Amino acid sequence: MTIASPISRLHSPFVCCPLKISSFSPLSGTSLRNQRSPPASYPSIRADLDQNTIVAITVGVVSVAAGIGIPIFYESQIDSAAKRENTQPCFPCDGSGAQRCRFCMGSGNVTVELGGGENEVSRCINCDGVGSLTCTTCQGSGIQPRYLDRREFKDDD
């Protein structure tokens, strides 16, 4: 009863045995029997990597790096922006904190033509007759908000 070595029983397209050294070297013409024999080697794993596999691995590594790096970059930018004072005046309201009403054009009254030459003047329902509204961009502060300050991040989970 002979026991076969585990290496000879292992058959896989990814595992290959290293080249066996012959007892005769064709280059030198001498026998290798007198030389020290290398230690018994283990099977090595052969990986047939084609171009598509290399591209897929590279894309995966880059995607993981970007998925980690981009949020870290944005977090550092938010922290540095929070340290700087914001003194830029608001663009839509020119720093006043109020915008002219678009319905009554700032007069506080709306004129409606009824027909037959009759006009009806009534108080503007959009601004309640004031003629202006609080700026929706700066919320009345007159300071232009930073980009991320204008957004509300809600966790809807």
| pLDDT per position as a tens digit, 126-138 | 998 899 999 988 8
Compute the mean pLDDT over every residue in the chain, rounded to the nearest whole number.
Answer: 76
Is residue 104's pLDDT more than 80? yes
Q: Which amino acid is at 34?
A: N
For 19-64, the pLDDT digits (tens) are: 554 444 455 555 555 555 555 666 666 667 788 888 999 999 999 9
Euclidean distance between CA atoms 30 and 11, whole angstroms: 34
User: Could you tell me which of 108, 101, 134 has the C-alpha nearest to residue 123?
Assistant: 108
Mean pLDDT computed over 107-121: 87
Q: Which residues contact 51 (CB under 8 A, 6 or more apart)?
A: none
Tokens linked to 135: 């700026």
Mean pLDDT computed over 67-75: 91
Is residue 9's pLDDT more than 70? no
What Cα–Cα distance (Å) separates residue 123 from each residue in 61, 110, 111, 120?
A: 64, 6, 9, 10
Tokens linked to 37: 């024999």
Q: Which residues contact 48 (CB under 8 A, 6 or more apart)?
A: 14
Euclidean distance between CA atoms 104 and 133, whole angstroms: 11
